[in-house]
Amino acid sequence: MTKLLMIHPEKCTGCENCVLACSFHHEKDFRPAATRIHVFTWEREGISVPMMCQQCGDAPCIKVCPTGAMHRTTGAGVVDWDTKKCIRCRMCTQACPFGNAVYDVLTNSILKCDECQGDPACVRMCPNKALDFIEDTISTRSSTKAFASKFKEAFQEVK
């Protein structure tokens, strides 16, 4: 059974420990611009929402990738990015409906969540249990999608 990252925005305090943990895990330093998880905070409303790659079943980033750098190993939950095959055309960053694939100038890389090979640093460091890494059952998947559609609405309202 594959696992998936669930987010619970109602528990998020906006502390960004997940952002720092992600940057530290992947880059060994602290640089929020180099994170694979993003936290958006609306200060006036006091709401914070963490977002990362949804590992879409029918992933636009895979479809749009001209070299097969963005790919999914058969049966796996995670969409993987192959640095050797990638030509840095950044089509994936435009295709992602959530903006969760990002190009980083400093490292010349596509930054997207790789679930830290099965032990996500963000989940470990979240002090509020706003992030979960759980079995991908039918029920969790449906609630993930429900959350996903909430961000979509939120973003559409804000933009």
Under rule CB under 8 A, residue 32 binds other proteins: yes
With the CA atoms of 142, 144, 145 and 147 taken in that order, what torsion angle do they form, in degrees rounded to the nearest 10?
130
Angstrom distance (rounded) from CA 63 to CA 68 = 9
Q: What is the DSSP string of 44-64?
A: TTTEEEEEE----TT-HHHHH
> Which C-beta is closer to other proteins: that of 84 or that of 159?
159
Under rule CB under 8 A, residue 110 binds other proteins: no
Under rule CB under 8 A, residue 13 binds other proteins: yes
Under rule CB under 8 A, residue 99 binds other proteins: no
152's CB contacts (< 8 A; 6+ apart) are 97, 98
> Cα–Cα–Cα angle for 43, 44, 50, nearest 5°?
40
The interface region with other proteins, picked from 28-36, 95-103, 108-116, 143-151 by CB under 8 A, is 28-36
Under rule CB under 8 A, residue 150 binds other proteins: no
Q: Which of 8, 24, 98, 154 binds other proteins (CB under 8 A)?
A: 24
Site residues (vs other proteins, CB under 8 A): 10, 13-17, 20-21, 23-24, 27-34, 43-46, 48, 106, 125, 127-128
